Amino acid sequence: MKARLLIACDFDGTVTRQDTLVEILNRFGAPTWTRVQEQVISGELSIREGLQSEMGSVRATRQELEQLLSTCIEVEPSFPGFLKGMRARGIPVVLISGGFDLCVETVMLQAGLWPIPSLANRLLQSNGSWQVDFPYTSSTCASCGHCKGDPIRNWTHQGYTTVFVGNGVTDRCAAMAASLTFSKDELGEWCRREEIPSIPFQTFDDIAAELKKREWL
Ligand SMILES: [Mg+2]
Ligand SMILES: [Zn+2]
């Protein structure tokens, strides 16, 4: 019997070519944001503290953010075809972003791929500044803003074989929880260093090929 698959994809740098947060901070954030990012990567700051601090420094209207995202962010060219192929097979594809709902929705709308099931942190505006709400904060993981391990474990409990695709520092808990992980960039290096099993990939075509090879498709 074939596995009942669910594909969970990180958003920034995985489904997109650029990172929405990096583009926003380069354009509208305080110049010190790269220092905050270093502190998150080194573990000095939690992901949640880092995001709050970085977004708190952003001076832009919602319209300015949407405008920037619509023009600067490209969807990875192999993703739309992959999504279509999975949908044709009845396999759910869910985006789990360590970034913001506004970014996921704006980019997917622009690419003609909205609506798509997605979990993300919420970006809220109050008194002209941006705040981050973490609706998916985990009770078991203090480090992550949006712990991607929790939804993966929930899907596993529901009987899914969960495939996770990711590239970054917010993807570590998911990489450990998934039945099969595809990794690149920072996540790939971390998996190798920590001896977390994962398959290196470059495009979504590589992922479809590997799933076929395993006869999961
Ligand atoms: Mg990413
Ligand atoms: Zn976590």
Summarize the confidence of residues 69-77 as an average pLDDT.
Answer: 97
Give distance in angstroms: CA of 45 to centre of ligand 2.
14
Q: What is the pLDDT of residues 5-16, one digit of tens each?
A: 999 999 999 999
Q: What is the pLDDT of residues 87-110, one digit of tens each?
A: 999 999 999 998 999 999 999 999
Give distance in angstroms: CA of 167 to centre of ligand 1.
5
Give distance in angstroms: CA of 183 to centre of ligand 1.
10
Identify the band that residue 145 occupies on the pLDDT scale cut at 50, 70 and 90.
low
Tell me what pLDDT residue 211 has: 97
Residue 154 has pLDDT above 60, yes or no: yes
Full domain range(s) for residue 182? 5-213
Give distance in angstroms: CA of 52 to centre of ligand 1.
18
The CATH number given to whatever domain includes residue 99 is 3.40.50.1000
Locate 191 and state its tokens: 């998996």
Give distance in angstroms: CA of 81 to centre of ligand 2.
30
Total structural domains within the chain: 1
CB 121 within 8 A of CB 133: yes
Give distance in angstroms: CA of 31 to centre of ligand 1.
21
* Identity at 161, one-letter amino acid code: T
Locate 137 and state its tokens: 């904060």
β strands within the chain, DSSP E: 5-9, 93-100, 118-126, 129-133, 161-166, 180-183, 199-200
Give distance in angstroms: CA of 168 to centre of ligand 1.
5
Give distance in angstroms: CA of 1 to centre of ligand 1.
32
Out of 3-7, 67-71, 80-84, 175-179, pick the least confident.
Answer: 3-7
Percent of the chain with pLDDT over 90: 83
pTM score of the predicted model: 0.93
Strand partners, 180: 163
Give distance in angstroms: CA of 138 to centre of ligand 2.
7
Q: Which of 33-42, 126-135, 179-188 has the highest mean pLDDT?
A: 179-188
